[in-house]
A and B are shown apart, each in its own frame.
Chain A
């Protein structure tokens, strides 16, 4: 006999998203093209509803005989992922309309991707974990190739798919080894299993597979290509919602399933983290395409977040939430800024096209500047506290070398962040960008306000929420 109450409490948001996705398929089949424009409001409603539900059942619970188990740590991540996913969806409507690809499939894929995010966050078992990850990934591959007439978009989709399949294979292989040597697929069971060599082998393979999903170096190679090739709103989605979810899943798997063998994986995660920071920072230096640059910047930022993971659950769990929340809000805003770069009816993506933005669109320029400085971790903007938390966690966890790499890569990355600021403020004004969608402007302004200013003033509140949420991990 199924306990429906427990089910809803544990995975209410996912049930809601699954229902919304299936209903959307039906609506699409019945209304056909008439559903296209309407579907974006429908999708936003679904995602914001899911975000609300994750707050409603914030404490979480266990269902399906231990296949899913949620707590505040995971529900916090769900809330942020669904909310930024909703914003990413809203701001993509104008873009798709102009490119004649406004189709309800886009919305449905986003909903199913979000369902996957929710599933993998709720997972307390290797099976559900893999199902969630694949639901997210398969939807993402199609989204990346959504401009099917564009060679770049198709290439991005294919590249993402081939490499993603390889990573999934690794993950699956690792999972089977873990199952083979521990005799269980349940996280709790795995954590109490005898840490044999085979189990560790499986764990390493799983780290590789999960590392691909969060685009940590050296499994990062796909990121710049996919960010560049995928339609810009899809890039905005990839950089925000799944980033948050995957990062928290990575932390969750490490902290719960492999929590007792931290001494075994700490060094691996630390190396991945250091490599990501260095490759992200140096790789971005020579980029001229703003989407590629954001791709490398996301690799570096994943490296920063991994510092907190490597520091362990006690000091790192809260820091991961704080850092990633501030990061994904900033990343969403920056991608919205890229969406605003439109001239002569087409998108422009070269960084130089931002030249003199301060003269032509001052508020957009100021917001982007705040977002860039925030993502660079420069005070007085909110991003500073994201890095402060990670840094604190790193030092508390005794990871001094990582802290040093963090400092160095911050200085290096300032090199390219400052170049964008220079182009916006110092260069000769270029032609004005064409009319910008209201939703895009709103996203840029709102994220700059939230990431830049509100997170600074109310950082205590965010930190308290995050640390309260992280305490759910222990129980």
Chain B
């Protein structure tokens, strides 16, 4: 303790920025949601960009003081708050990369909205910044009640983002997203209250060492899993995701796939494994089965989609199946692979949603059948699309490969069958991604509207190219990540044995 509270600064900087934007907007225009677009709305977006970039810089500063050789929590800040509940934040090798991912993706999201969001822009920026605070809070919280508050608060801005700026069926999608996730979270709340009373503390470090009796663990594990499985999402509670993805605006999909889904995996690693090791072992076969079903089934479903966003949404479910597989392999390779896969998927899926957004902004349709022959008009686009198609399939040299191979190696050590099933998913992912790519990018131009489509502009390039660079960088030098996550992964596994 002592020193500058850098983690709190990172977490709350976006929120403070959002309040400032609201205040300035209502002071200058009387009301911050007037219908006039144009200058004011650009100013709001620009302000949002500056704030989220500053947050990114702050998180990098936190990263620079982060010592990867320490296995436990670092940069911990703790203040008394409410009885035994403390305001306690800090980071370790598990949360640090996810925090960086969040702060990295938020400015990209806002930039990607530059040309696609024209109504109620100030509110849009505010919603994104508030959401960023809640997401960062989830990863930084070291008190389980604080974690829960951030975890559930995130629903509100995401609900508004889908409901206001979404597509035709946005209301249905927003409600489905909210109620599905809420039901899971409330079950987790029951467990949180129980743990709080049993252990007399809500400090995560205390709870990690607290030995819950095995039969209690089973129930607590199930209550937590209800929440994380919906969030991850796992088959069969994944059905909210395609709806939410399809209806959300591009940036909303990016943040949903890039960060919100990772909260599920993070939750399993932070709570379920270290706190309920017996129950985790008990449910390992079930989780493997669900992971393999998710990988195989949703890959096949993805193949049959006619909507580009829906296809990528289902592919996300499949890829999160690899995360489940890695987490529940209970070995270092698998857990590290799962963390890596979460980051890698955060980059690749975000980029794919941005890539769909590029043509959607021009054509206002996501039907695969409406496209074809894009390579003739949009060569740069076709190249980047190719890169991320390959990354999503898991081609060596991209980060997608590392994540998939490691989770499978980890899974193989725990269960040969599970790994074999998951390997099928790699093949299927090639089937649906290549089909998507062939039908949209190659072939003849059949849709006359495509004749004067323009290639990617500078803003779009600025959004997507960094993601491409990182995808290749982490594919070639995965140790950049592993060096950070190694300590945390080993610590979680040792807690499973010792706890």
Chain A residues with CB under 8 Å of B82's CB are 385, 459-460, 463
* Closest beta carbon of chain B to A423's beta carbon, Å: 10
Chain A residues with CB under 8 Å of B32's CB are 362
Assess whether A460 is in contact with B83, with CB atoms less than 8 Å apart: yes
- Contact for A358 among B33, B83, B193, CB less than 8 A: B33
Chain B residues with CB under 8 Å of A414's CB are 178-179, 182
Interface residues on A, range: 20 to 34
One of A45-53, A178-186, A261-269, A390-398 at the interface: A390-398
Tell me, yes or no, whether B35 is within 8 Å of chain A by CB: yes
* Closest beta carbon of chain A to B143's beta carbon, Å: 13
Query: In the bound complex, what is the Cα–Cα distance between A396 and B35 (angstroms)?
Result: 51
A 419-439 binary contact with B (CB < 8 Å = 1; else 0): 001100110000000000000
- Contact for A378 among B152, B171, B183, B196, CB less than 8 A: B152
* Closest beta carbon of chain A to B35's beta carbon, Å: 7
Which of A359, A379, A411, A422 gathers the greatest number of chain B CB atoms within 10 Å? A379
Query: In the bound complex, what is the Cα–Cα distance between A361 and B175 (angstroms)?
Result: 24
Tell me, yes or no, whether B190 is within 8 Å of chain A by CB: yes
Assess whether B80 is in contact with A426, with CB atoms less than 8 Å apart: no
Assess whether B171 is in contact with A362, with CB atoms less than 8 Å apart: no
Tell me, yes or no, whether A472 is within 8 Å of chain B by CB: no
Tell me, yes or no, whether B486 is within 8 Å of chain A by CB: no
Assess whether A418 is in contact with B197, with CB atoms less than 8 Å apart: no
B 172-209 binary contact with A (CB < 8 Å = 1; else 0): 00110011001100110110011011000000000000
Q: Which partner residue on chain A sits nearest B25 by CB separation?
A: A362
* Closest beta carbon of chain A to B44's beta carbon, Å: 13
- Contact for B163 among A385, A388, A415, A426, CB less than 8 A: A426
Tell me, yes or no, whether B4 is within 8 Å of chain A by CB: no
A407 and B197 contact, Cβ closer than 8 Å, known pairs A373-B156, A425-B160, A425-B164: no
Tell me, yes or no, whether A380 is within 8 Å of chain B by CB: yes
Q: Which partner residue on chain B sits nearest A458 by CB separation?
A: B82
Tell me, yes or no, whether B170 is within 8 Å of chain A by CB: yes
- In A332-368, the 8 Å CB interface with B consists of 358-359, 361-363
- Contact for B189 among A362, A391, A415, A459, CB less than 8 A: A391
Assess whether B26 is in contact with A396, with CB atoms less than 8 Å apart: no
Tell me, yes or no, whether A298 is within 8 Å of chain B by CB: no
Assess whether A418 is in contact with B178, with CB atoms less than 8 Å apart: yes
Query: In the bound complex, what is the Cα–Cα distance between A208 and B149 (angstroms)?
Result: 37
Query: In the bound complex, what is the Cα–Cα distance between A379 and B148 (angstroms)?
Result: 8
Tell me, yes or no, whether A84 is within 8 Å of chain B by CB: no
Assess whether A380 is in contact with B123, with CB atoms less than 8 Å apart: no
Query: In the bound complex, what is the Cα–Cα distance between A425 and B175 (angstroms)?
Result: 13
- In B28-85, the 8 Å CB interface with A consists of 31-33, 35, 80-83
Query: In the bound complex, what is the Cα–Cα distance between A472 and B132 (angstroms)?
Result: 44
Tell me, yes or no, whether A327 is within 8 Å of chain B by CB: no
* Closest beta carbon of chain B to A418's beta carbon, Å: 6
Tell me, yes or no, whether B305 is within 8 Å of chain A by CB: no
Assess whether A422 is in contact with B163, with CB atoms less than 8 Å apart: yes
Query: In the bound complex, what is the Cα–Cα distance between A362 and B82 (angstroms)?
Result: 32
Assess whether B183 is in contact with A411, with CB atoms less than 8 Å apart: yes
Chain B residues with CB under 8 Å of A87's CB are none
- Contact for B33 among A359, A378, A422, CB less than 8 A: A359
A 427-471 binary contact with B (CB < 8 Å = 1; else 0): 000000000000000000000000000000001100100000000
Query: In the bound complex, what is the Cα–Cα distance between A363 and B23 (angstroms)?
Result: 11
Assess whether B164 is in contact with A426, with CB atoms less than 8 Å apart: yes
A379 and B149 contact, Cβ closer than 8 Å, known pairs A418-B178, A425-B164, A426-B164: yes
A 140-176 binary contact with B (CB < 8 Å = 1; else 0): 0000000000000000000000000000000000000
Assess whether A407 is in contact with B189, with CB atoms less than 8 Å apart: yes
* Closest beta carbon of chain A to B223's beta carbon, Å: 10
Q: Which partner residue on chain B sits nearest A411 by CB separation?
A: B183
Which of A373, A388, A421 gathers the greatest number of chain B CB atoms within 10 Å? A388
Chain A residues with CB under 8 Å of B155's CB are 378
Assess whether A418 is in contact with B175, with CB atoms less than 8 Å apart: yes
Q: Which partner residue on chain B sits nearest A457 by CB separation?
A: B81
- Contact for B152 among A379, A385, A395, A411, CB less than 8 A: A379
* Closest beta carbon of chain B to A372's beta carbon, Å: 11
- Contact for A359 among B35, B145, B153, B183, CB less than 8 A: B35
Query: In the bound complex, what is the Cα–Cα distance between A213 and B414 (angstroms)?
Result: 62
A415 and B148 contact, Cβ closer than 8 Å, known pairs A362-B33, A391-B189, A425-B164: no
Query: In the bound complex, what is the Cα–Cα distance between A359 and B164 (angstroms)?
Result: 12
Query: In the bound complex, what is the Cα–Cα distance between A395 and B160 (angstroms)?
Result: 33
Query: In the bound complex, what is the Cα–Cα distance between A379 and B145 (angstroms)?
Result: 10
Assess whether A422 is in contact with B149, with CB atoms less than 8 Å apart: no
A422 and B182 contact, Cβ closer than 8 Å, known pairs A380-B153, A391-B193, A407-B189: no
B 211-236 binary contact with A (CB < 8 Å = 1; else 0): 00000000000000000000000000
* Closest beta carbon of chain B to A392's beta carbon, Å: 6
* Closest beta carbon of chain B to A386's beta carbon, Å: 13
- In B131-183, the 8 Å CB interface with A consists of 134, 145, 148-150, 152-153, 155-156, 159-160, 163-164, 170-171, 174-175, 178-179, 182-183
Tell me, yes or no, whether A20 is within 8 Å of chain B by CB: no
Tell me, yes or no, whether A384 is within 8 Å of chain B by CB: yes
Query: In the bound complex, what is the Cα–Cα distance between A385 and B148 (angstroms)?
Result: 12
Query: In the bound complex, what is the Cα–Cα distance between A209 and B214 (angstroms)?
Result: 46
Tell me, yes or no, whether A403 is within 8 Å of chain B by CB: yes
Assess whether A411 is in contact with B156, with CB atoms less than 8 Å apart: no
* Closest beta carbon of chain A to B344's beta carbon, Å: 31
Chain A residues with CB under 8 Å of B164's CB are 425-426
Q: Which partner residue on chain B sits nearest A380 by CB separation?
A: B153
- In B261-310, the 8 Å CB interface with A consists of none
Assess whether A407 is in contact with B187, with CB atoms less than 8 Å apart: yes
Query: In the bound complex, what is the Cα–Cα distance between A396 and B194 (angstroms)?
Result: 9
Which of B82, B149, B183, B197 gathers the greatest number of chain A CB atoms within 10 Å? B82
Chain A residues with CB under 8 Å of B163's CB are 422, 425-426
Query: In the bound complex, what is the Cα–Cα distance between A463 and B81 (angstroms)?
Result: 11
Query: In the bound complex, what is the Cα–Cα distance between A362 and B22 (angstroms)?
Result: 10
Assess whether A380 is in contact with B35, with CB atoms less than 8 Å apart: no
Assess whether B123 is in contact with A358, with CB atoms less than 8 Å apart: yes
* Closest beta carbon of chain B to A317's beta carbon, Å: 16
* Closest beta carbon of chain A to B131's beta carbon, Å: 12
Assess whether A384 is in contact with B156, with CB atoms less than 8 Å apart: no
Q: Which partner residue on chain B sits nearest A400 by CB separation?
A: B190
Chain A residues with CB under 8 Å of B194's CB are 395
A362-B33, A378-B155 are known contacts; what are 9 more A-B pairs with Cβ within 8 Å? A358-B123, A361-B31, A384-B149, A392-B197, A403-B193, A407-B186, A422-B163, A422-B171, A426-B174
B residues near A (Cβ < 8 Å) are 26, 31-33, 35, 80-83, 120, 123, 134, 145, 148-150, 152-153, 155-156, 159-160, 163-164, 170-171, 174-175, 178-179, 182-183, 186-187, 189-190, 193-194, 196-197
Interface CB pairs A-B, < 8 A, 12:
A362-B33, A378-B153, A378-B155, A379-B148, A380-B149, A380-B153, A418-B175, A421-B159, A425-B163, A426-B163, A426-B164, A459-B81
Shortest beta-carbon contacts, A-B, top 8: A379-B149, A380-B153, A460-B82, A407-B186, A426-B163, A459-B82, A362-B33, A379-B152
